[in-house]
A and B are shown apart, each in its own frame.
Chain A
Amino acid sequence: MYAIETKGLTKSYGKSRGIIDVNLCVNEGEIFGFIGPNGAGKSTTIRTLLSLIHKDSGVARIFGLDCEKDREKILTEVGYLPSEVFYYDNMRAIDLLNYSASFYKKDCTKRIRELSDALELDVHKKIEDMSLGNKKKVGIVQGLLHSPRLIILDEPTSGLDPLMQQTFFELIQKENQRGATVLFSSHILSEVQKICDRVAIIKEGRIIQTEKISELQQNSYKKVSFTLKENTLEDFQMQGAARIEFQGNSVSFIYRGDCNLLLRQLSNYTLLNVDISEPSLEEIFMHYYAE
């Protein structure tokens, strides 16, 4: 039995595209990444799984139960962190967390304290007085306080500072070690690569690839740009380099291959500057998956 299973899941918003024929299988106990550019259909898929919106066709199951027919049963086992956190402003964080806990038939007091301490969250503050990052922390605590079997995270790190992101990843990994399955949706490839076992890539409403993170890393792309100290380069060719662009004495390209070969090639030039970074998902989609 899969934790999440969709077959031909389709949802459209009138004339606008939502998701088309989405097939996903998330195993119990894995951290599954779900990546794609903004507007690709990640949130639509998640909202369909949570039955916030109704599918047009296809099958959506969580722990073998139908997402629409068995909605309440499923939601007892699910913790959800939406991409944008909106809570009742006039409430203190602790009141919201207790309110959230009151929907589950278990005492969540200890868990609320543990999670709040880990995230350094002042639960006695009013939500309306909190920064986006702190509101996100409230969201994380309310999503995890009942120790759910399935954790659905939609762009969870936005608003969190790098240190807190690290704490958050550790929390998620602990939850996973406890046995929880995690669906981690993001448009940032590096954070998905950091903690996920497998990843599905969605583009324009369709799943275009599902692969293991280890395989994805073997095929990892780098965005390379370098500037020559004096000369202007008119020709540059290298195996694995694509979309080569020249601008004055600067060259930029997307590289896929052995990084040692790349460095060896670059060492042939007298460089003023070199920059090797991760290309955005959009760039990968545009220049590789589109082919």
Chain B
Amino acid sequence: MNILKRECKVNLKVFLFWILGLLVLIFAGMTKYTGLYGVTGGTSINDLLSQIPKVVLAVFGMAGVDITTLAGYYSVIAFYVLICGIIYSVHLGANAVSREVIDKTYEFIFTKPCSKKYVLGMKVLAGWLAIVGFTVMSMVFSYASVAALGTEENMNKLIILYGIVVFILSSLFYAFTIFFATTSKKAEKGMLYGNLSFLLAFIMGIVHDMLDNGTAIKWISPLKYFEANDLIAGKLDGVFLIVCLCLTVVLMVFSFERFQQNDLQAS
């Protein structure tokens, strides 16, 4: 518990910065909806968007989404929240595995009477709690920002579904980064490979949106596992939910085993 407490304390400062960013993103983003809807009257925005190349819409998470509706508009904001959550989880995952080696403090913590797996486990748990906190705060800010708009629409289900998606996909990329960090020869490479895997997933997501039938590509595009229109319709794809959970568990188990066998030394 002492390691967990310390790790949570260490993570707190960065967590607060992310939460502050999240607050600005969600509130500033959602406030724009009133302006967008009120000034243009809604339908003309769709005409405007239809003239924008599909690739640009895909990059901004707007492909196939009707942003004149509150749910559609929220899904775009939630897409950005998801991206933030994944980038944050990559940072957390790399730090959980490699920070002590990079800072050369590993000779302190790993010569204490606890197993390597336990130390890693506490660090991973602390990072994971930060992801939980990020998700919860994103949902709280979403509720508050939607309530501030004063519309009659009930967005509760969509906000919860997006909360689940942010948590599941952030956890998946967290596990990916931990996997990369434990299998890389150089400790600092974990962050790099984690970020590259996110970039690859993002590009694959765009490719998926560009293709009319991108079912096969969807399997390697985690950002598209849970599509905006399905979530707006109140559906969470069960198959991809299981895929994410299984992948996360398998990557974590493998990473812990690998970490146990790794030599601990500064490069």
Contact = CB atoms under 8 A, between A and B. Distances in A.
Interface string A53-64: 110000000000
B108 A52 contact: no
B38 interface: no
B115 A86 contact: no
B112 A75 contact: yes
A58 to B, nearest CB: 16
> Interface on chain A toward B: helix, strand, loop, or mixed SS?
loop
B264 interface: yes
A60 to B, nearest CB: 14
Interface residues of B, number: 19
Interface residues of A, number: 23
A92 interface: no
A72 B110 contact: no
> Interface on chain B toward A: helix, strand, loop, or mixed SS?
loop
Given A52-B107, A82-B107, A87-B105, A100 B261 contact: no
A99 B111 contact: no
B106 interface: yes
B263 to A, nearest CB: 4
Interface in A64-105: 71-73, 75-76, 78, 80, 82, 84, 86-88, 99-100, 102-104
A236 to B, nearest CB: 48
Contacts of B104: 84, 86
Interface of A: 47, 50, 52-54, 71-73, 75-76, 78, 80, 82, 84, 86-88, 99-100, 102-104, 142
19 contacts: A52-B111, A53-B265, A54-B261, A54-B263, A72-B114, A73-B113, A75-B111, A80-B107, A80-B111, A84-B104, A86-B103, A86-B105, A86-B107, A86-B108, A87-B105, A99-B2, A99-B6, A100-B108, A103-B114
